[in-house]
Amino acid sequence: MQGLVYLLLVLLGPIGSEFVLGFSCDGGCSGHGACQRSTGRCTCFPGFGGATCASRLCPTGAAWVDRAWAVDKAHQPSQCSAMGRCDRSTGACTCESGFEGVACERLSCPNLCSGNGRCISMRDAATLQDDRNFFVSTTYSLWDADKIMGCQCDPGFTGFDCSQRECPKGDNPLTTGQAYAIQDVTCVCNTCTGTFALSFRGRVTANLASTATSSDLKIAVVAATPLCSTSGTITSIIFTNNPGDLPKLQVINNLSNGATVAVGTSQVGTRENAYCSNRGSCDFATGVCKCVAGFASGDGAMPPSAGRRGDCGYQSGAAICPSTNLGVCDNKGTCSAATSYECICYAGFTGHDCSIRECPKGAAWFDGATAPDTAHAMAECSGRGSCNTATGLCICLAPFTGAACDLIRCPIGTSSVYGATCSGRGTCKSIQQLSSEATDPQGNPLGLTYGATPNTLATWDAAKIQGCDCETNDYFGPYENAFGDFTGGHDCSARMCPRGADPFEVGKVNEKQTLTCTADAGEFTLTFRGETTPVIPFNAGTAQVQATLQTLESVRTATITFNSGSVVCSATGVTTTVEFTFMQAVTLASNPGTLAVGELVKGTKANVECSARGVCDRGTGICSCYPYFLSSDGAGGLGRRGDCGYISPYPSVTLS
């Protein structure tokens, strides 16, 4: 019987707002939240969101691209790191190509390092001095330290993705007046025990006792003297087979009693250390040198003899200038025939015969830091693409673009309708450009910059990482049954729904501001949320001021009243009251002069999607309103805004 009485109440009479307020939240907050009966709104448990807590939230990470929140400060936490789509049914991110991790928080290693290297972060690369890939041990802790990943290639491999085999390097046998590299190992040991070892380019010697002699190192020295002594013994190591300016030996010290082992350079090596000794071309697919006529594999000595290094470092016949079918030095350089028979290539060309075109360079996406928080040196194709040496063009991996692969492209829409950059509903902009448009929560421009000072290490990414600036504005209507005009999401593929005040919030008021104009000639403008009106003459009436203000996209409606007279300005001053409908606290601004702006009443009405009384369909931009809620006129009455802002006296009834 109680159920019958309830049904009669519903069918026979209007239901007062106090009765509606007694209802539970729609859908019982989906079992993932608590219903606040005073407001009829859900407070979702962690990991869930949406008006009914039916949506799962996705993991967050530092945004790859966003607007600055302070000068030179960006990369705030964002779901899927603003580089992926969130599946609200599972809470899982689908990352854009080239990104990975549960929150799309990492830039993937290129081609999985081709199976010839290890994938590491910028932070790790800064500390892992191996004297092959990385030559300094330091620290790196900027925003991308754990986000950008790259390759540490195994010995014998090179390239940004470790796909190339290294060819032997050696000294040009026709250059003279050069010196070996010499390093001194100083060991101070007073009755110490234990061992130490030396490391060079990632390779470590056997452990050496404090009583070991130089002959145990198998190096060329004058006498087999002890490596350590109480006063300190200096052992000179001459690098006869390693040309060039070499990295210092690294010490692994396990000696006792405070024994020290230090390495210093007594002579810098000045011999060339070039692929194929600059007397041949390297086949990076096989790692084998193809020597030019008159040169063959050497032994690395000075002067060289024939050997098995495969480095083209031995002169086996008469020297001639390198040439191709296009001529000497490929007709792209000059030959020093009087001295070393080497090609001096014109700008943009390289190689022993100048036949290789150089590709554009950009700040490397991944490299080893050279000092604390100092990285991203210039690199060919920015270290994220391969160079076509025949054309000089970079072939970029996804998601990189630009002549030097120096940009991360904007997301591409996934559907057949929106399969274009930013889904065809936004503009692709860099962080630097987006930051210049940053606003406060009320929509007022903040005047922020990101990377305005060139070559600032902390904002190296200012013009390199791009994101979508979606076509989003305040919602005008009438759209209660139409597709939404405005889009959102990292790729602008999600449609946004109408916004409005929550009809259950009582005691909320519209924003009211005053304009006081003291003038008997001239004109003025008004600025709201970054938009500026056309000029308004001093003698404009209420209708003209109201119409001009409402030409701004960010102003829906505004009511204008004068405290005296019929025009907006006078010699004695006129105060105009502007009431903004459907707005929270906002600020008008005027051009300098005799017009003053003040806030009379701070707006307290919320401006939320579907008026917090419905669920937005991201595919259509149409609100699906809860029972008892319908489309409003924006002022509490029934209308065509599609915002669920009208409380119906009757529920919708579905008959089966």
The 10s digit of each residue's pLDDT in 534-580 is: 999 999 998 999 888 888 877 767 788 888 888 999 988 899 888 87
Q: How far is CA 263 from CA 199, 207, 372, in A?
A: 11, 16, 23
Cis amide bond preceding 411, omega within 30: no
Tell me the backbone φ, ψ of residue 223, rounded to 5 degrees: -145, 155
Q: What is the pLDDT of residue 205?
A: 82
- Given a cut of 60, whether residue 477 has pLDDT beyond it is no
Q: What is the pLDDT of residue 361?
A: 97
The 10s digit of each residue's pLDDT in 631-656 is: 988 777 888 888 888 988 776 543 33
Q: What is the pLDDT of residue 486?
A: 66
> CB count, 10 Å around CB of 30?
18
Q: What is the pLDDT of residue 588?
A: 57
Q: What is the pLDDT of residue 11?
A: 31
CA distance linking residue 650 with residue 422, whole number of Å: 42
Cβ(526)–Cβ(603) below 8 Å: no
User: Which residues share a beta bridge with 107?
Assistant: 99, 148
Q: What is the pLDDT of residue 275?
A: 95
Q: What is the pLDDT of residue 419?
A: 63
Cβ(308)–Cβ(297) below 8 Å: yes
- Given a cut of 80, whether residue 357 has pLDDT beyond it is yes
Q: Which residues contact 506 (CB under 8 A, 6 or more apart)?
A: none
The 10s digit of each residue's pLDDT in 179-191 is: 999 999 898 988 8
Q: What angle do CA 534, 537, 540 make, to 5 degrees?
A: 105
The position carrying tokens 């470590």 is 204
What's the whole-number average pLDDT of the chain? Answer: 86
- Given a cut of 80, whether residue 482 has pLDDT beyond it is no
Mean pLDDT of 604-613: 84
Q: What is the pLDDT of residue 587?
A: 54
Q: What is the pLDDT of residue 508?
A: 80
- Given a cut of 60, whether residue 123 has pLDDT beyond it is yes
Which range has highest mean pLDDT (91-105, 202-216, 551-565)? Answer: 91-105
Q: What string of DSSP letters covers 542-603?
A: HHHHHHHHTTSTT---EEEEESSSSSS-BSS-EEEEEEETT-BS--EEE-SSSEEEEEEE--
Q: What is the pLDDT of residue 480?
A: 58
- Given a cut of 90, whether residue 358 has pLDDT beyond it is yes
Residue of 578, 584, 572, 568 lying closest to 598 (CA atoms): 578
Q: What is the pLDDT of residue 24?
A: 67
CA atoms within a 13 Å half-sphere pointing along the CA-CB vector of 113: 17
Cβ(96)–Cβ(56) below 8 Å: no
- Given a cut of 90, whether residue 235 has pLDDT beyond it is no
- Given a cut of 70, whether residue 20 has pLDDT beyond it is no
CA atoms within a 13 Å half-sphere pointing along the CA-CB vector of 25: 24
Which range has highest mean pLDDT (158-172, 229-243, 508-522, 571-585)? Answer: 158-172
Mean pLDDT of 390-416: 91
The 10s digit of each residue's pLDDT in 370-385 is: 999 999 999 999 999 9
Q: Does residue 225 or residue 208 have the better pLDDT?
A: 208
Q: What is the pLDDT of residue 221?
A: 37
Model-level pTM? 0.81
pLDDT band at 207 (very low <50, low <70, confident <90, very high): confident
DSSP H stretches of helix in 322-478: 431-435
Mean pLDDT of 512-518: 88
Q: Which residues contact 276 (CB under 8 A, 6 or more apart)?
A: 167, 168, 169, 170, 282, 289, 290, 291, 311, 312, 352
Q: What is the pLDDT of residue 589?
A: 56
Q: Which residues contact 460 (CB under 8 A, 6 or more apart)?
A: 142, 363, 375, 376, 451
Tell me the backbone φ, ψ of residue 8, rounded to 5 degrees: -65, -40
Q: What is the pLDDT of residue 653?
A: 42
- Given a cut of 70, whether residue 481 has pLDDT beyond it is no
The 10s digit of each residue's pLDDT in 306-353 is: 999 999 999 999 999 999 999 999 999 999 877 889 999 999 999 999
